């Protein structure tokens, strides 16, 4: 089993901190290592060729690359060794960049020591690697697009034009999203619905798009290639097939008027309504919260389409990929109490302004003071309401509000040249093609710009006054305006939260859905086969949402166009001779992939390789093809072979969240101590209590297990299972006289690098207080019992 | 827009409201002798078509309805009927047999 070890400089990213020469000579002396080299850039062509040359020359069986995170370049090196004739699974990576050199920049000596341990662990695991064959499964070529805004519409059309069938599911009665409600859009000031409307009807008429509006997703099961989706179509109380979309027959007799959500509260609609004249599908809808049941509409409808007896309908889909385009919701301006929105009628939001300026809006394009109905003569735009504002918990920039206000100010000025328009801003952010020119145009039109964050709006005798400090002159001013427009920021749509949990999507600190890589993978989620487009992953202007819709569609096409998918051979398998038929594995399996047909049997296509069954099996009859018991134990033993620091921590990190968080801590250069020796596992539930006991027996001072946040497990409930096992384990430790605090379980999402570092630091402090492993045994002088011999070795140092 | 005709008549203690449309005739009877003046219907009416009468005077013996109906506002939804604890309100809905001529017209329009 000759092994080749390649220690990567990664330019200065690794070599700038770690001692490469020392690592190389260390690796050379490890058992089974036939050749060790340090390469300036192992992922470059030259680096890959060197590895391939060595495979031939030294007849290598396994390759260890000590470089960046396997989440980044594992596929690259797998391809490289495959070209040289090795099985792709004969590769092991030691993460000495994200989880070593980048996080221990100030401690080069300790970091080099840690890197040695990581390499030793990787070599120990590599010696046990087995060749595995990828399995190919048939996949559904249908795609589910969730959200019918401009991003979802674009994705659906691109997919359907490429020949894939699309199910477009929209929560509201019409598609079109926020864009359909806007008036003219920047930077060209062309009419929004005029460009979007044709796309909306194209969706409706496309033979390869099934449009499901006024619907909700209830459940999603399965994985890439075969997602089983359950949803419900809410009752419209109007038959979609019979309604002719005549717009007014039913609504004109309806006696109930309520504020229209499509006018953001400044217009009204009836209890039976069509959201707006360009709605798709053009079908009325009864609002059951407003309807009083007088049944006039039933009588008035010439097509007899109103059906009060209509029930919600469940639907089931089987799709290969899912595109999440759930969009955004406006910041609730009542949360900024100092601006009086909701109390002062002449304080409105950008979206209400959009509806007022819209020719088909409630005021037919006139900009009026809601308090009097008169044309507003002096208008103030207040920027950054609910954005760049820590007091409401949104420190991010919403990106589009500066341009939206510049645009609305221009529209007002063009329509009413006499009107005085002032924009109160912190910074004007107009970066985009043609945006700066747009800003200059606004200045030339005579729009005033005042650099100030308005501190308060007062209403005196029906007039509103803005109180602010002009930061260019340093004066505190109080200025009267007829109308104040709050540029509200964008927040993630709350209705998408359930969906996010169903799919197990992680969220960034700003609460938008997180993409797989902030630069390199802009439309992919952390979960295979799930893509995110548009404002679901953060505020975006229309052209970028459209680009993302197309990008997500292209990714889905690339994934599904062959109708089959190569799967990683990660599954569990049963040693039939050992199986005791206790059925514990059947219960713990989150994918219901195990059945006991005496003995237990694993459906390898359904198994996703979390490894909970292997950890749960009381007779160790179940093992994993990747991340096998022997391999993990070899890593544990290698990590504890030489105890180079105190406290020494063996950390098990779940592949999906906490390993990602540890990588993110690296990319964000968050510094933390070098004590942890990380072992990647697919799920925190993979951690067999015997791994923990082995680590402690061999002298580790503590064991850290990190999983996804509770409720966000990639495999449904693996982290709960891990938690339960840790709790039992703590009891065991207590019985054998060890401090139960030596094993700790923490939760962090892939976006929480900071939290990972914080938890680790806390654990280190706790272990320092406990002292080296075995201290407590000496203190209490426990008499020889069942547990003490287990820890005897560990008690040495 | 659908034509809606309304009329009101008084018959002893019963105030009878009638709404005629092309398909139905709804009759809402309010028997004020049964009415206890609790005003549940006044609070509940989604169209605010019901109003409290002079309750104090009625308590002292004045013979007048405790609830006043504004026929213009009433849409014959029947909520007062369903919630009245003394069953002072009653509604009957009569569906007219389908007029073949109007049915033809409707189908021609669509």
Torsion A259-A260-A263-A264 (CA) sign: positive
Q: Which residue of B has its CA nearest to A294?
A: B77
Confirm if A405 and A439 have CB atoms less than 8 A apart: no
**Interface touch A249/B22, C-beta < 8 Å:** no
Burial (CB count <10 Å: 0-12, 13-18, 19+), residue B73: middle
- Which residues, in sequence order, are CB contacts of A446 under 8 Å at separation 6+? A413, A421
Summarize pLDDT for A769-784 with one digit per residue, the tens: 999 998 888 877 655 5
Q: Which residues of B touch A246 (CB under 8 A)?
A: 110
Burial (CB count <10 Å: 0-12, 13-18, 19+), residue A186: buried
Task: Looking at the complex, report in whole angstroms how far the Cα of residue B46 sits from the nearest Cα belonging to chain A.
Answer: 7
Best residue in A299, A303, A306 for a mutation probing chain B (most B CBs within 10 Å)? A299
**How many CB atoms within 10 Å of residue A444?**
9
pLDDT of residue A360: 87
Pairing type for strands A483-488 and A475-481 reads unpaired
Q: Which residues of A touch B4 (CB under 8 A)?
A: 253, 296
Looking at per-residue pLDDT, the higher value among A111 and A713 belongs to: A111
Among the listed residues A95, A149, A148, the one whose alpha carbon sits nearest the alpha carbon of residue A121: A95
pLDDT of residue A751: 85
Q: Once rounded to an integer, what is the mean pLDDT over residues A675-693?
A: 95
Residue ranges per structural domain of chain B: 5-109
- Range scoring the smallest mean pLDDT among A34-43, A163-172, A287-296, A561-570: A561-570
Question: Is residue B52 within a helix (H) or strand (E), and if so which, with residue range?
Answer: strand B50-52
**Interface touch A255/B77, C-beta < 8 Å:** yes
Buried residues in A546-581 as b, exposed as e (16+ CB within 10 A):
bbbbbbbbbbbbebbeeeebebbbbbbbbeeeebee
ipTM of this predicted structure: 0.81
Task: Looking at the complex, report in whole angstroms how far the Cα of residue A202 sits from the nearest Cα belonging to chain B.
Answer: 23
Pairing type for strands A272-273 and A226-233 reads unpaired
**Interface touch A294/B2, C-beta < 8 Å:** no
Taking the C-alpha atoms of residue A793 and residue A134, their distance in angstroms, rounded to an integer, is 42
Size of interface A-B (CB pairs under 8 A): 43
Task: Looking at the complex, report in whole angstroms how far the Cα of residue B75 sits from the nearest Cα belonging to chain A.
Answer: 7
pLDDT of residue A19: 96
What are the residues facing B68 on neighbouring strands?
B51
| Confidence band for A592, pLDDT divided at 50, 70 and 90 | confident
**Interface touch A255/B75, C-beta < 8 Å:** yes
**Interface touch B46/A256, C-beta < 8 Å:** yes
Q: Which residues of A touch B46 (CB under 8 A)?
A: 255-256, 292
Q: Once rounded to an integer, what is the mean pLDDT over residues B9-17?
A: 93
| Confidence band for A793, pLDDT divided at 50, 70 and 90 | very low
**Interface touch A299/B79, C-beta < 8 Å:** no
Summarize pLDDT for A57-97 with one digit per residue, the tens: 999 999 999 999 999 999 999 999 999 999 999 999 999 99
Looking at per-residue pLDDT, the higher value among A707 and B22 belongs to: A707
Task: Looking at the complex, report in whole angstroms how far the Cα of residue B47 sits from the nearest Cα belonging to chain A.
Answer: 8
Residue A100 DSSP class: I
* Fold of the B5-109 domain: Alpha-Beta Plaits (3.30.70)
* Mean confidence (pLDDT) of chain A: 93
Domains in chain A: ranges and CATH: 1-134 (3.40.50), 135-234+312-327+493-567 (3.50.50.60), 235-309 (3.30.70), 331-491 (3.50.50.60), 570-622 (3.30.70.20), 627-797 (3.40.50)
pLDDT at A741 > cutoff 90:
yes
Q: Which residues of A touch B22 (CB under 8 A)?
A: 299
> Which member of A294, A296, A303 has the closest CB to residue B110?
A303
**Interface touch B2/A292, C-beta < 8 Å:** no
**How many CB atoms within 10 Å of residue A494?**
10
Confirm if A504 and A221 have CB atoms less than 8 A apart: no
Confirm if A714 and A656 have CB atoms less than 8 A apart: yes
pLDDT at A792 > cutoff 90:
no
Q: Which residues of A touch B107 (CB under 8 A)?
A: 302
Q: Which residues of B touch A252 (CB under 8 A)?
A: 1-2
**Interface touch B109/A302, C-beta < 8 Å:** yes
> Which member of B2, B75, B107 has the closest CB to residue A300?
B2
Q: Once rounded to an integer, what is the mean pLDDT over residues A361-386?
A: 95
pLDDT of residue A785: 52
What are the residues facing A173 on neighbouring strands?
none
pLDDT of residue A782: 52
Q: Once rounded to an integer, what is the mean pLDDT over residues A234-252?
A: 92
Regarding pTM above 0.80, the answer is no
Task: Looking at the complex, report in whole angstroms how far the Cα of residue A345 sits from the nearest Cα belonging to chain B.
Answer: 25
pLDDT at A797 > cutoff 50:
no
> Which member of A249, A292, A299 has the closest CB to residue B77?
A292
| Confidence band for A794, pLDDT divided at 50, 70 and 90 | very low
**Interface touch B75/A244, C-beta < 8 Å:** no
Q: Which residues of B touch A308 (CB under 8 A)?
A: none
Task: Looking at the complex, report in whole angstroms how far the Cα of residue B58 sits from the nearest Cα belonging to chain A.
Answer: 31
């Amino acid at each position: 089993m000759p092994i080749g070890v390649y220690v990567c400089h990664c330019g200065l990213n690794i070599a700038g901190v770690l001692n490469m020469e020392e690592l190389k000579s260390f690796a050379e002396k490890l058992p089974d290592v036939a050749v060790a080299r340090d390469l300036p850039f192992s992922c470059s062509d030259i680096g890959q060729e060197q590895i391939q040359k060595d495979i031939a020359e030294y007849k290598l069986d396994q390759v260890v690359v000590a470089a960046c995170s396997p989440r980044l370049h594992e596929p690259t090196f797998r391809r490289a060794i495959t070209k040289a004739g090795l099985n792709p699974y004969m590769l092991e990576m030691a993460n000495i960049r994200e989880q070593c050199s980048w996080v221990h920049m100030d401690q080069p000596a300790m970091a080099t020591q840690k890197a040695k341990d990581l390499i030793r662990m990787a070599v120990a695991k590599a010696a046990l690697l087995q060749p595995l064959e990828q399995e190919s499964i048939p996949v559904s070529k249908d795609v589910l697009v969730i959200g019918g805004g401009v991003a979802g519409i674009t994705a659906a059309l691109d997919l359907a034009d490429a020949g894939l069938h699309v199910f477009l599911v929209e929560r509201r009665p019409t598609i079109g999203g926020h864009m359909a409600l806007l008036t003219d859009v920047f930077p060209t000031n062309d009419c929004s619905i005029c460009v979007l409307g044709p796309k909306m009807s194209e969706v409706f008429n496309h033979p390869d798009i099934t449009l499901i509006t006024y619907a909700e997703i209830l459940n999603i099961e399965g994985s890439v290639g075969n997602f089983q989706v359950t949803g419900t179509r809410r009752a419209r109380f109007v038959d979609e097939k019979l309604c002719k979309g005549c717009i007014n027959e039913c609504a004109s007799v309806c006696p109930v008027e309520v504020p229209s959500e499509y006018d953001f509260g400044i217009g009204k609609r009836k209890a039976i309504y069509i959201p707006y004249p360009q709605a798709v599908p053009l079908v009325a809808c009864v609002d059951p919260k407003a309807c009083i049941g007088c049944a006039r509409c039933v009588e008035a409808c010439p097509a007899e389409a109103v059906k009060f007896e209509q029930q919600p309908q469940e639907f089931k889909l089987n799709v290969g990929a899912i595109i999440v385009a759930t969009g955004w919701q406006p910041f609730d301006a009542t949360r900024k109490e100092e601006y009086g929105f909701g109390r002062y009628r002449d304080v409105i939001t950008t979206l209400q302004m959009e509806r007022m300026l819209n020719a088909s809006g409630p005021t037919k394009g006139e900009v009026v003071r809601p308090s009097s109905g008169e044309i507003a003569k002096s208008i103030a735009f207040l920027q950054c309401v609910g954005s760049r504002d820590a007091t409401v918990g949104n420190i991010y920039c919403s990106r589009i509000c500066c341009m939206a206000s510049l645009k609305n100010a221009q529209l007002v000025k063009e329509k009413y040249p006499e009107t005085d328009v002032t924009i109160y801003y912190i910074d004007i952010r107009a970066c985009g093609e043609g945006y700066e020119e747009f800003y200059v145009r606004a200045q030339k039109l005579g729009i005033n710009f005042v650099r100030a964050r308005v501190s308060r709006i007062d209403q005196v005798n029906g007039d509103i006054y803005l109180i602010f400090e002009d930061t260019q002159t340093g004066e505190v001013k109080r200025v009267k305006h007829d109308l104040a427009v709050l540029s509200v920021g964008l927040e993630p749509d709350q209705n998408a939260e359930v969906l996010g949990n169903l799919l197990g999507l992680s969220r960034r600190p700003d609460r938008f859905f997180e993409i797989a890589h902030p630069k390199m993978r802009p439309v992919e989620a952390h979960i295979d086969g799930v893509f995110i487009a548009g404002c679901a992953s953060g505020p975006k202007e229309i052209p970028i949402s459209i680009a993302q819709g197309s990008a997500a569609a292209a990714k889905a096409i690339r994934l599904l166009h062959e109708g089959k998918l190569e799967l990683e051979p990660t599954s569990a398998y049963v040693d039939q001779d050992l199986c005791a038929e206790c059925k514990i594995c059947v219960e713990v399996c989150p994918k219901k992939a195990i059945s006991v047909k005496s003995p237990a049997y694993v459906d390898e296509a359904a198994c996703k390789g979390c490894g909970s069954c292997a950890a749960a099996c009381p007779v160790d009859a179940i093992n994993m093809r990747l991340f096998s018991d022997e391999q993990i134990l070899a890593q544990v033993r290698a990590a504890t072979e030489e105890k180079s620091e105190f406290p020494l921590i063996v950390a098990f990190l779940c592949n999906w969240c906490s390993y990602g968080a540890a990588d993110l801590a690296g990319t964000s250069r968050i510094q933390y101590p070098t004590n942890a020796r990380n072992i990647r596992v697919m799920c925190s539930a993979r951690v067999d209590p015997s791994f923990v006991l082995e680590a402690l027996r061999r002298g580790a001072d503590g064991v850290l297990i990190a999983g996804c946040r509770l409720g966000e497990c990639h495999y449904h409930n693996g982290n709960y299972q891990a938690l339960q096992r840790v709790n039992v384990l703590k009891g065991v430790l207590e019985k054998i006289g060890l401090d139960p605090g030596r094993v700790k379980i923490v939760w962090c999402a892939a976006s929480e690098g900071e939290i990972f570092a914080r938890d680790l630091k806390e654990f280190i402090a706790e272990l320092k207080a406990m002292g080296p492993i075995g201290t407590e045994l000496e203190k209490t002088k426990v008499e020889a019992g069942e547990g003490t011999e287990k820890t005897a070795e560990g008690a040495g140092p | 827009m659908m034509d809606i005709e309304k009329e009101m008549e008084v018959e002893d203690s019963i105030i009878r409201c009638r709404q005629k449309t092309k398909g139905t005739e709804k009759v809402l009877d309010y028997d004020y002798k049964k009415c206890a003046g609790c005003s549940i219907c006044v609070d509940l009416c989604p169209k605010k078509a019901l109003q409290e009468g002079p309750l104090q005077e009625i308590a002292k013996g004045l013979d007048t309805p405790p609830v006043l109906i504004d026929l213009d506002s009433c849409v014959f939804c029947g909520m007062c009927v369903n919630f009245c604890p003394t069953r002072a309100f009653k509604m009957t809905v009569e569906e007219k047999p389908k007029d073949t001529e109007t049915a033809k017209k409707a189908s021609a329009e669509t």
